[in-house]
Structure formats: structure tokens, C-alpha cells
Structure 1
Amino acid sequence: MDATWHAADFRPPLGLSNRHVQTLLPRCLPTPAVDAETEILELPDGDFVELAWARPQPDRADAPILLLFHGLEGSLDSPYARHLLHAAAGLGWRALLMHFRGCGPSPNRLPRAYHSGDTADAYWLIGQLAHRYPRALKVAAGVSLGGNMLVKLVAEQGDAGLDLDAAIVISAPLDLSACADTLRHGFSRVYERHLLGSLKRKMAPRLARGELPLSITSQELEALDSLRAYDEAVTAPLHGFDGAEDYYRRASAGPLLDEIALPMLILHADDDPFMPPALFQRFPTPAPPVRLEVASHGGHVGFVEWHQGRPRSWLARRVGQQLDEWQSTMSALQTSLRSVSHKKSTGP
């Protein structure tokens, strides 16, 4: 095993290790309440994204920031989003979630949506945060589709192209074509039908109103029976790709893992029903700043563990640990730099 690979310390509760149980369990359990303030962030192309800021926000302008990117058709209402924002806010971080275009309460303006390789909006938002909070430690976390997007963004920009100190990637479909094929088999078809239904319900009224530059009819949209078929007919032409396979090839972030220049924690379950087996064997060895933690169980964004007689989110616990570690490391580094600067200014 490569030095970047580590066994995750996740242990499922007795009798709840099945990958589908783990995947579905978070939707059946209580989630923490997150009081969020909505901000409309205008984008350079005339569209917008909706930000959800967890309240209360820290008073300090230099408070550390956790920026969360959700998965396909996710939102602030996704259980993982509430757990992670609640955990970060509880540690004193300024926590926010960026809804991808059309995933917040309001439909987006332009005849386009979002996709797994769409990094421009995240890049713009990180630039805005850099302007507002120049002295804050900034960590981004991406879940599922948002995780693939985040890996691609970090690889594209390098260590100097983003005002970002570190990143966390959870259950990311880093080989989009293989993941689309995996979702065609067995019980995983349940997840595909759920996601496909959500996408169709969002696109159908816009297609009927003639807002989308697509040749597909409303009846043909309704007849699409797989995510690959949807990406072929809708995602690819809306976003300038030459079909689904071209989209998957150009948007998949797995081949870029050896180009990561920021500290990055990747959390993955070997039994993720959205992924093919041995996912990371398909990619180059991750760069040294990457720490890959793989659990035998956990499902897709599941990772429910048992603690003091009740289930809880291991993801929230592990992410909280990592945020604490990075904050301590960065604080120690800043203290050291201030000490060196002071010695230089005062002389021997």
C-alpha cells in the first residue's frame, strides 16, 4: 500500500455494516438543526448561486472557514451537510455551503445547470472569500459530485492559484464513466432512479417553457432510463461536451490525484455502491500532500457509527478532528513566523 493510503478508523455498528444500510441510514436518523442565512452570490456570467451560512457566525474576521460543496441534487437539507456544518460551527469555524446552480430554493437564470467538472463557480466563490476574509484559514470540503469537482479544482489551480489551505473529499466518483456503469446494476439502480427523477423534475418545466437549447422533447426526457442517457441528452449538450463519454473523460478528477499540491484528506468506503471495486487502483499514486483513508464499510456518504448507545456520524467526527488538526498546525506555523519576523526586526 502506498504511503498516502491509510485504513480509516470507521467501525460500523454490529448488524449495520451492509453498504446499502449504511448509505440509507443517515436519511432515517435525526440530523442536527442548522440555522442558516441565505446569500445570493452573483456570478460573472449573470447567473447566481445561493450560499447557506451557518449561524451564529464567529465575530472574529480571522475565524477559520469551512466551505462545503454538496453532491448531485444535494442541498442544505442533505443529512451530511447538516452534520458537517454543525460540526464545523461547533468548533468555532465560519461554516457555509454553496448550492450548485439550481440546487437552492430558486431556479438559476441561465440555460445551463451544473456538473461534476464545473469548477468555475467554486473558484469565483473562493476568490470572494479571499477578499472578505484575507487572514482566515480556509478549508473546502466536497461530498460525492462536489468532491470530484473539488479535486479537479485543486489540481487545476495548484498551490498558488487558490486562497485555500486544505481540502477534504468524501465519497467522490472520481471515475465518472465507471460510476455511471456501476449504478446500472443491482440495488444501486434504486439510487440511480432517485437521482434521475430529481434531475428530470427540475429540467422538465424549463424544457417545456423553451428555456433550454436542447433538441430533446419532454416525452424523450421522461423516457431517459439511466444517468448515462441523461448525461448524453442533457448534461453534455448543455455544457459543451461531445456526448456523455466526453463529459466523463474530461470531468473525472481521479487521473489528477498526482497533481494535488495542497493538504487533502480523502475519505472512501470500499463497499460504496456508487463506485466500482478498487476505485483508486485506476488512478496514479496520489501526490504526497494527499492522505487517502479507506474504510472496508461505510456505503456512499454513510459512515454511521455507534457511540454511547446511539448512532452518530463518523464523517462529522473525522472531519472535526481534521479541522482541529489543521487549525493547530496553521496556528503553530503563524506563531513561528511571527517569532522569526520579530527576531529579524529587533536584531541580535
Structure 2
Amino acid sequence: MTGQLHRADFVPPAGLANRHVQTLLPRLLPRRHLPHRWETLTLPDGDFVELAWVAPGPTAPDAPLFLLFHGLEGSFDSPYARELLAAADALGWRAVLMHFRGCGRRPNRLPRAYHSGDTADAYWLIGQLAHRYPRALKVAAGVSLGANMLVKLVAEQGGDGLDLAGAIAISAPLDLAASADCLQRGFARVYERHLLASLKAKTAGRLSDFPLALDGERLGRLRTLRDYDDAVTAPLHGFRDAADYYRRASAGRWLGELELPTLILHAEDDPFMPGDLFERLPPPGAAVRVELARQGGHVGFMEWREGRLRSWLARRVSRQLEDWAPTFAGRPRRLAAESEPPGR
């Protein structure tokens, strides 16, 4: 590894290194119990996003804040979300997840959805949190789609345009066209079918609201995510077609221009992306640290530690949060979330 590319210290358990095993393991294990409360945040255009705050959370006004953005069709219930939020909570951070429009408990109001390059809602939320917690150090993290969105937002706003001390991008599809191609090959088509079924079901319930030249029969015939992006994502959000959407929304082209301290965690065997992803992209700038693991799958990174399978991502993110908030790291930890075994 050279420059800002580094070898991650992730080591998969013996017999569990396969990319698909790693990708699926977090979804097969019992889901962590994590108390939380909901908040509806109204957006400037009259729509809303739903926030899930880990409860009870710290009371100190200067407690650092961890903001998480989920992946495509993800939510607070996604295994990685609960693990990362619990890890931040265990350190005494205020932890919150923003659901993209329509991914919370209720459909959103306006005839639109969300996509990989849609940074406006995240930007608005970060501004609101800056007003609410002006003394708090803040770090944002994104997973998959949310990671690409976050990298794009950081690039758009420059080094001082966001009230963030740093950003963390996990398994980011920084070249969306390449990811769409990868998901049409081999076993990865299983993931594509799963995601596509969720998107189509959600869209079917709103066809009468959406300004699309699309009926239920044509929606049912869409076979790939690229088809879906051509027929739904692109026209719904002002793109010419899927190719135009992928080109304009992919954040990889800005890796050399990021000014905010940014950690990117990625597995070279991620089935959602080509293995040479970072060879296709500009070299990362001085503010960016890319850690590449040979294995890990897509948002997998499950390791054997303390007698059971645990999330290496949660451990690595915890270490980064402590690095970015050293003055807070010495305070007593909230051990309950860290030590509690997963439960349904």
C-alpha cells in the first residue's frame, strides 16, 4: 500500500473468510437489542425524515455526537446500524441514525424518494444538530449508499462547510456504474434481487403519486437495479437516465479533493464492487485515509473475538471516535451497550 492507502487489520475467522459468508453473517446472527426513541424532522420542502436516537443517551451538552447514514433500503433495524450506534453509545457519545426519505416507519409526503447522490437532507440535518448541540464534537458515518452520499457531501462543502470533526465511509460504492455491473454477475444477483424486490414493492404502493411514465406491469418487468434506476430513480430525481445518475452521483472522483478528515473502510472482495475499485479512482488526498482489507465482503467484517462473532467495523469505528475526541475518551464509558450480548 502507498500514499493514503493502508492495509486494514481485519482478520476473518477460519472458515468464514468467503466474501458472501462475510456479507450474509451479520444478517443471520441475532439482532442486538438497542433502546431508542424516534424523532420526525421536517425538511425545508415540507417533507420529513425520521431520526432514531439511542436512548437514553448522554445528558452533557458537550457530549460528542455520532450521526449515521444507512445503506440502500436500510434502517435502524439493519445489523450494522445497531452495532455502530451501540459502539458510539458505549463510548458515551450521543448516537443517532437518519432514515432516508421513506425508509423509516412511514412513507414520505412528496412524490420523490432518495438516492446515492442526494446530499441535501443530510446537510440540513447537520445544520440543525449544529444549532442544537453547538459545543459537541460531531462525526458522521455512512454505510454503502449512505457512505457514497457522505463522501459527496464532504466534497461539496469543503473543509469548513460542515460542523463535523470527521467522516467515516464504510463499503462505499464510489463508482455506481461499476457497482451496478457487479451486481449482475454470479451470486451477487441474489443481493440485487433482494434490493430490487424491496424497491419495487415500495414504488408499487406510490405509483399513483409519482410523476412517472410507469405502470404496475412495467414496474414488475424491471429485472436489474440499472433497469430500476433508468425507470424510477433517474426520472424521479431529475437525471436523464441511469448512466447520467451514476456519473453525477458517484463520489469517487472527488477522493483527491476532500478536505475534512475522512476514514474509508473497504474490502477488496466486496461483491458489490470491482476488486480494483481504488485503482480506478483518483488517489486520495492528504485528509483521507483508506483502509483496505483483503476480505470482509459488503458491510460484513465479522471477526472472532472474546469467544464469539463480533463486528470488526464497530471496533474500528470506536477506535476512530476515540482518536477524534481524545479529551472525551477518558470519561467513563457506557458499558451496557458494549457488553450486552445481541438479542432479538
Quote the residue 1:304 is aligned against.
302
* Structure with higher RCO (Cα < 8 A, 6+ apart): 2
Who wins on radius of gyration, i.e. which is larger? 1
The code of the aligned residue for 2:146 comes to: G
Quote the residue 1:315 is aligned against.
313
Within 5 Å, give how 1:64-79 maps onto structure 2: 64-79=64-79
Structure 1 residue 32, shift from structure 2 partner: 2.1
Within 5 Å, give how 1:239-250 maps onto structure 2: 239-250=237-248
| Conservation of the 8 A alpha-carbon contact between 1:2 and 1:285 | no
TM-score (normalizing by structure 2): 0.94
Distance 1:107 1:79 in 2: 22
Q: Unaligned 5+ residue runs, structure 2?
A: 331-344
Q: Secondary structure at the match of 1:206?
A: coil
Distance 1:239 1:29 in 2: 36
> Is 1:288 aligned with 2:290?
no
User: 1:53-94, CA deviations, whole angstroms, 9 ceiling, x for partnerless residues?
Assistant: 001111101100000000000000000000000010010000
Within 5 Å, give how 1:57-68 maps onto structure 2: 57-68=57-68
Distance 2:134 2:329 in 1: 15
Quote the residue 2:181 is aligned against.
181
Quote the residue 1:131 is aligned against.
131
Distance 1:308 1:119 in 2: 39
Distance 2:93 2:31 in 1: 19
Greater shift in the superposed pair: 278-287 or 190-199: 278-287
Q: Cα RMSD between the aligned structures?
A: 1.1
Structure 1 residue 31, shift from structure 2 partner: 3.0
The code of the aligned residue for 1:194 comes to: H
Q: Secondary structure at the match of 2:286?
A: coil
Distance 1:184 1:324 in 2: 39
Distance 1:329 1:132 in 2: 21
| Conservation of the 8 A alpha-carbon contact between 1:64 and 1:138 | yes
| Pair 152,231 (structure 1): closer, same or farther in 2 beyond 3 Å | same
Distance 1:296 1:168 in 2: 19
Quote the residue 1:327 is aligned against.
325
| Conservation of the 8 A alpha-carbon contact between 2:91 and 2:329 | no
Could you tell me the percent identity over the aligned residues? 69
Distance 2:221 2:327 in 1: 53
Quote the residue 1:269 is aligned against.
267
Q: Unaligned 5+ residue runs, structure 1?
A: 333-348
The code of the aligned residue for 1:103 comes to: C
Figure out how many residues of one structure are paired with residues of the other and give that number.
Answer: 330
Distance 2:71 2:131 in 1: 26
Distance 2:236 2:31 in 1: 35
The code of the aligned residue for 1:79 comes to: P
Quote the residue 2:15 is aligned against.
15
Distance 2:306 2:137 in 1: 33
| Conservation of the 8 A alpha-carbon contact between 1:5 and 1:292 | yes
User: 1:287-335, CA deviations, whole angstroms, 9 ceiling, x for partnerless residues?
Assistant: 1011100000000000000012211000000000110111117889xxx
User: 1:120-175, CA deviations, whole angstroms, 9 ceiling, x for partnerless residues?
Assistant: 00000000000000110000000000000000000000012111110000000000
Distance 1:137 1:60 in 2: 12
TM-score (normalizing by structure 1): 0.93
Structure 1 residue 213, shift from structure 2 partner: 0.1
The code of the aligned residue for 1:124 comes to: W
The code of the aligned residue for 1:161 comes to: G
Q: Which among 224, 230, 233 is matched to residue 232 of structure 1?
A: 230
Structure 1 residue 212, shift from structure 2 partner: 0.5
Quote the residue 1:259 is aligned against.
257
The code of the aligned residue for 1:262 comes to: L
Moved over 6 A (4+): 329-332
Distance 1:331 1:261 in 2: 24
| Conservation of the 8 A alpha-carbon contact between 2:167 and 2:260 | yes
> Is 1:171 aligned with 2:176?
no
Q: Secondary structure at the match of 1:6?
A: strand
Distance 1:161 1:224 in 2: 39
Distance 1:95 1:257 in 2: 27
The code of the aligned residue for 1:296 comes to: R
> Is 1:113 aligned with 2:82?
no
| Pair 268,282 (structure 1): closer, same or farther in 2 beyond 3 Å | same
Structure 1 residue 205, shift from structure 2 partner: 1.2
Distance 2:67 2:40 in 1: 15
| Conservation of the 8 A alpha-carbon contact between 2:53 and 2:95 | yes
| Conservation of the 8 A alpha-carbon contact between 1:258 and 1:286 | yes
The code of the aligned residue for 1:284 comes to: P
Structure 1 residue 3, shift from structure 2 partner: 2.0
Distance 2:271 2:220 in 1: 25
| Pair 330,286 (structure 1): closer, same or farther in 2 beyond 3 Å | farther
| Conservation of the 8 A alpha-carbon contact between 1:188 and 1:273 | yes
| Conservation of the 8 A alpha-carbon contact between 2:68 and 2:96 | yes
Distance 2:136 2:47 in 1: 27
Quote the residue 2:335 is aligned against.
none
Distance 1:31 1:86 in 2: 12
